[in-house]
Amino acid sequence: MSYDSYETLKIQLEAPIARIFIDRPPVNPLSSRVITELTALAHELELSDDVRVIILSGAGDKAFVAGADIKEMLDMPPQDARSFSEMGGMLGETIEMSTKPWIAAVNGVAFGGGCELALACDFIHASEKAKFGQPEVKLGVIPGFGGTQRLARRVGVAKCKELCMTGDAIDASEALRIGLADAVWPHDQLMVGVTALALRIAANGPLAVAECKKLIHEGQSTTLDAALALEQRSFGLLFGTADQREGMAAFVEKRKPEFKGR
């Protein structure tokens, strides 16, 4: 499969991992073009049997994504601004609802839409040089790609209010302390650490990994009883898969399983 048609993205495919780099130097802002291409690529990768985990990062050393493209937004009328917000929302939902885990490798600044893009991923690993923030109030607007909602679910309501209402930036160590980042790495070890996590996940049954992701997400918006019922249903259904038989046979036979995603 060729990914040469994407003008704003660089793609490295080393099965079972796909690495995506947003490539709009020097700070990789999210334009309509970037959002459209990244959404399309996410759908492509979802259909690839070769890909089990997706790593998302920014090209260069300065930025993951410094924010949405302010030049594009400057003269937007309200209806166009809402459409732009919906476009970013669709990208976040596509990542969030993917059956494959997404890991944000935050290699520099992740402000505004960049922070929101990372929040849509399943894991956020940061370089020690990374910085995070939702500075939209400094521009007279609010986060539009899910920041007020996903950030609150990540770090709690009070801390979300503080970050969204002050527009303050925080460094990687503070992001780790409040739970915004899951790990912080020396800058030159970020992709090494993220790749190691991706490979640990990819070694497991892909149907089971996908079901874990779905259940954890769905369980956040329903009652505990309903979520437990969903878990029990999925547990039973997975016993009808070839991966379940292979995984348990491999355990009994003391060998590594060879999962096929079936």
HEC secondary structure over the chain:
CCCCCCCCEEEEEECCEEEEEECCCCCCCECHHHHHHHHHHHHHHHCCCCCCEEEEEECCCCEEECCECHHHHCCCCHHHHHHHHHHHHHHHHHHHHCCCCEEEEECCEEECHHHHHHHHCCEEEEECCCEEECCHHHHCCCCCCCHHHHHHHHHCHHHHHHHHHHCCEEEHHHHHHHCCCCEEECHHHHHHHHHHHHHHHHCCCHHHHHHHHHHHHHHCCCCHHHHHHHHHHHHHHHCCCHHHHHHHHHHHCCCCCCCCCC
Instruction: Pick the catalytic residue from 14, 44, 93, 136.
Output: 136
pLDDT tens-digit readout, 238-256? 999 999 999 999 999 999 9
Architecture of the structural domain at 206-252: Orthogonal Bundle (1.10)
| Residue 218 falls in the annotated catalytic set | no
Give tens-digit pLDDT for 45-63. Answer: 999 999 999 999 999 999 9
**Is residue 1 pLDDT above 60, yes or no?**
no
* pLDDT value of residue 68: 86
Give the tens place of pLDDT for each residue, 207-225.
Answer: 999 999 999 999 999 999 9
What does each C-alpha distance from 142 to 123, 149, 199, 239 come to in angstroms? 24, 12, 37, 46
pLDDT (0 to 100) of residue 4? 74
pLDDT greater than 70 at residue 152: yes
Cα–Cα distance, 156 to 205 (Å, whole number): 32
Q: Are 115 and 181 in contact (CB under 8 A)?
A: no
Span 57-77, average pLDDT: 93
Catalytic choice (116, 128, 231, 253) = 116
Whether 246 is a known active-site residue: answer: no
Q: 151-169: string of b/e by CB count within 10 Å (b at 16+)?
A: bbebbeeebbeebbeeeeb
Q: For the residues 18-29, what does the mean pLDDT come to?
A: 96
Q: Is the pLDDT of residue 197 over 90?
A: yes
Sign of dihedral through CA atoms 216, 217, 218, 219? positive
pLDDT at 2: 59
- For the stretch 119-149, pLDDT in tens is 999 999 999 999 999 999 999 999 999 999 9
Q: From the centroid of its chain, how far is CA 208?
A: 19
> What's the average model confidence in pLDDT over 34-46?
97
Which pair of structure tokens corresponds to residue 188? 């030159």
CB contact at 8 A, 8 and 31: yes
The mean pLDDT of the chain is: 96
**5 pLDDT band (50/70/90 cuts)?**
confident
Domain with CATH 1.10.12.10 in the chain: 206-252
CATH of the domain spanning 9-202, picked from 3.40.50.740, 3.30.540.10, 3.30.2130.10, 3.90.226.10 = 3.90.226.10
121 phi, psi to nearest 5 deg: -80, 165
Structure tokens of 52? Answer: 């089990």
Tokens in use for 178? 């409040």
Q: What is the mean pLDDT of residues 84-96?
A: 97
Domain boundaries for CATH 3.90.226.10 within the chain: 9-202
In 10 A of CB 180, how many CB atoms? 24
